[in-house]
Structure 1
Amino acid sequence: MKIEEDAGVAVLNRLRRAQGQLAGVISMIEAGRDCKDVVTQLAAVSRALDRAGFKIVASGMRQCLTESEDGTPPMTEQELEKLFLALA
């Protein structure tokens, strides 16, 4: 499945933001910051990754439900459900 260009830009932006947030969490731990602050930032990283994953799945739904240009068969309902559950 290829991610649509507009969705790809949004996903990459979210992943870069998450990467920066994760670097911040690592720095916070190394600096001995308060547990509450670290967990709050870690939760933000998790949400950013979830949003990126949901964007990928949402943008690919149309492609997943139809045969691709290279002849790849469409995904089954069970395969789509598994993708969603992987993000849950």
Structure 2
Amino acid sequence: MLLIEVTNARDVVRRRIGRLGERLIGKVVDAEAQVEKALIQEMETAFQEFGIEARIVSTQTTKLIGNRCEFSIRVRDDRDVKLNDGSVDS
């Protein structure tokens, strides 16, 4: 199982929407949700290309503290990645 924590979501969104949109971060734009949504889409595409089936889950309240993970799970997005034709290329 992999766990990925995006640690610079606000910076990524800030670079994408510019200085004017920076004021919206946290008010109208949920930086973490936007970055995770884009990351999930990219991962889904890559997984399908490699023939990997997986379940990608984005949670809102999981925290990494050192090498310990605290869970109070509230699922934000959940996607099953399946192969289109059911076969794996060698």
Structure richer in helix, relative to its length: 1
TM range (shorter): 0.3 to 0.5
Which has more radius of gyration?
1
With the length of structure 2 as denominator, give the TM-score of the two structures. 0.33
Q: Larger relative contact order (C-alpha < 8 A, sep ≥ 6)?
A: 1
With the length of structure 1 as denominator, give the TM-score of the two structures. 0.33
Structure richer in strand, relative to its length: 2
